[in-house]
A and B are shown apart, each in its own frame.
Chain A
């Protein structure tokens, strides 16, 4: 008798989850697909980064090669004086090569939260670009016609400084539209907008990323990354992801 009861209960449960899964993808699913849509197997991009401060703006151009989320290589191409500076990221480590001083420097842990190239991104943002699905519990906080609203709470062990991340995900592309970072007290620290989604072959990708820091000491700051050109899932030479590449591909 009791066995039968349990069985029916189980079957009901199964049916219920199955039916909801058909209606909307599960929250974890959304997060995983967003992540996949943002990185892809491999990616080559040409980017322009514009850093605005109270005092003016500065433009940089660069090329980036990435394989998955763990390995990437960046070369600065503009302005001329910075041209040839390269960065290599493998897992959690980051190296930098500066042609002017002909030196490869491993960025020490103590510099990880310093600004990257004067932007509102930190070295850590580039390196740890932390895996949201691994580091956060996601919960659906709401949805409308076009967007899911996700609340991401860090898992207890996750080495991330944010107290909460709120992510607007476009239903059409399953790409983030706006990501808001909060501290533990619930104060908004920074907002990252993903704008102007364009098609690149099979894939859609946001081509304008805008980072808006909210803290008082960074008032008037804004960093925009504009993706001029991108090729996804093409073959990328493994040679880019070695320390030798830093100097070799500097030119």
Chain B
């Protein structure tokens, strides 16, 4: 306890050094906490955007559908899948979809695209389709032949809200399917390819016209906690049996997951450069103060204090300083992370870039994860104390007589 007492006294005695050290360390901790929160948050946001726009956190398909996406590998009994998913814990929402490659024909020309039957109400919870509306209105149950399509597809077909177009496709029984559709709404998700090919109708109507009653190409499942997508998918797999396959977004969107990892690595490399400099600055400041107190140390040694005791005193001092700054920085960083978690930062200037990578996000919330903040604080604490060790040990090696005469 004595060391702590001495340490506190010394910290107060060398106020300037303490202040600079605390400021520096607190600033660094703030930076680390905030940078981590920002990187994690923006990556999570980009991923969740990419996942939530349309692909969904968990997809259930017929086990062979991914390799051979043919009409033979559909989910033929949506009722049974529905029952299983409904009784699986940890699931917030789910719905079947039926995707079908068709030929859309406007007055001007015919364009190939994807016509998908969805359950409008459930889909609203599962994807950003409804939120991406730009003109007209989103679908409702019982909408019949009313169509919700991407703006680029609408542009190619030269149709507007309220106008008609037709489609020609193949029903589930391989029968011929065609009908006239009326544009109800136009969406813009920001994903160019998607907006140029995708169009949606109410699944009730789709099922009638495509003979798809009780059939689906896949189910989309939203876990109550998106971070639990993997275990929920595993649970679904065991409950659904070998005929079906439930896969989380980590499998279906592997490239994007890796891209975020690459981005994080570069982020941490940059932080590393900054930290190296800070490590040296703290080292230098410790060096300066410890050597400024050389005489004091010499006197202490002369009156019989053992080097171990002095070492402990100095380390306690630096630990106290480090602890104080890390806590201060952690709190400031944490508050910032919390604030920007609820008030996301907007990057309107980088919108194009996000679109290019299929991310379609310009507002970036930071992640507020107390455990991660504690981890960063621990890292900073070790770094801070570590940077003081060398000068402390070095000063302690000086012989008492030299120390007393140290200028």
Q: Do A and B bind each other?
A: yes
Which residues from chain A sit less than 8 Å from chain B, CB to CB?
51, 53-56, 58, 76, 79, 81-82, 85, 96, 98, 100-103, 105-108, 110-111, 114-115, 117-119, 216-221
Complex Cα gap A79–B171 (Å): 14
Taking CB atoms, residues of chain B closer than 8 Å to A54 are 72
Q: How far is the CB of A190 from chain B (nearest CB, A)?
A: 15
Once the chains bind, are A56 and B173 in contact (CB under 8 Å)? Answer: yes
Taking CB atoms, residues of chain A closer than 8 Å to B71 are 53
Once the chains bind, are B72 and A118 in contact (CB under 8 Å)? Answer: no
Classify chain B's interface size: 20 to 34
Once the chains bind, are A106 and B110 in contact (CB under 8 Å)? Answer: yes
Asked, given contacts A105-B110, A108-B110, A218-B70, whether A82 binds B175 with beta carbons under 8 Å apart, the answer is: yes
B174 CB-CB contact with A under 8 Å:
yes
Taking CB atoms, residues of chain A closer than 8 Å to B168 are 96, 98, 101, 105
Once the chains bind, are A217 and B72 in contact (CB under 8 Å)? Answer: yes
Complex Cα gap A81–B76 (Å): 23
Asked, given contacts A101-B105, A219-B72, whether A117 binds B176 with beta carbons under 8 Å apart, the answer is: yes
Q: How far is the CB of B102 from chain A (nearest CB, A)?
A: 10
Taking CB atoms, residues of chain B closer than 8 Å to A115 are 170, 174
Q: List 7 A-B contacts (CB under 8 A).
A: A58-B174, A98-B178, A100-B178, A103-B105, A107-B110, A118-B170, A216-B68
Complex Cα gap A118–B100 (Å): 13
Q: How far is the CB of B197 from chain A (nearest CB, A)?
A: 11
Complex Cα gap A111–B171 (Å): 16
Complex Cα gap A220–B70 (Å): 12
B103 CB-CB contact with A under 8 Å:
yes
Once the chains bind, are A217 and B174 in contact (CB under 8 Å)? Answer: no
CB nearest neighbor in A for B176 = A82
Asked, given contacts A54-B72, A98-B168, A217-B72, whether A118 binds B103 with beta carbons under 8 Å apart, the answer is: no
Complex Cα gap A244–B174 (Å): 28
B180 CB-CB contact with A under 8 Å:
yes
Once the chains bind, are B112 and A110 in contact (CB under 8 Å)? Answer: yes
Complex Cα gap A98–B168 (Å): 9
Taking CB atoms, residues of chain A closer than 8 Å to B72 are 53-55, 217-221
Taking CB atoms, residues of chain A closer than 8 Å to B76 are 55
B179 CB-CB contact with A under 8 Å:
yes
Once the chains bind, are B103 and A105 in contact (CB under 8 Å)? Answer: yes
Which of A51, A98, A108 is B166 in contact with, Cβ under 8 Å?
Answer: A98
Complex Cα gap A105–B71 (Å): 24
Q: How far is the CB of A121 from chain B (nearest CB, A)?
A: 12
Complex Cα gap A103–B165 (Å): 10
Once the chains bind, are A118 and B166 in contact (CB under 8 Å)? Answer: no
Taking CB atoms, residues of chain B closer than 8 Å to A85 are 176, 178
Complex Cα gap A56–B211 (Å): 13
CB nearest neighbor in A for B173 = A58
CB nearest neighbor in A for B169 = A114
CB nearest neighbor in B for A54 = B72
Interface positions, chain B 155-179, Cβ under 8 Å from A, are 166, 168, 170-171, 173-176, 178-179
Q: How far is the CB of B181 from chain A (nearest CB, A)?
A: 9
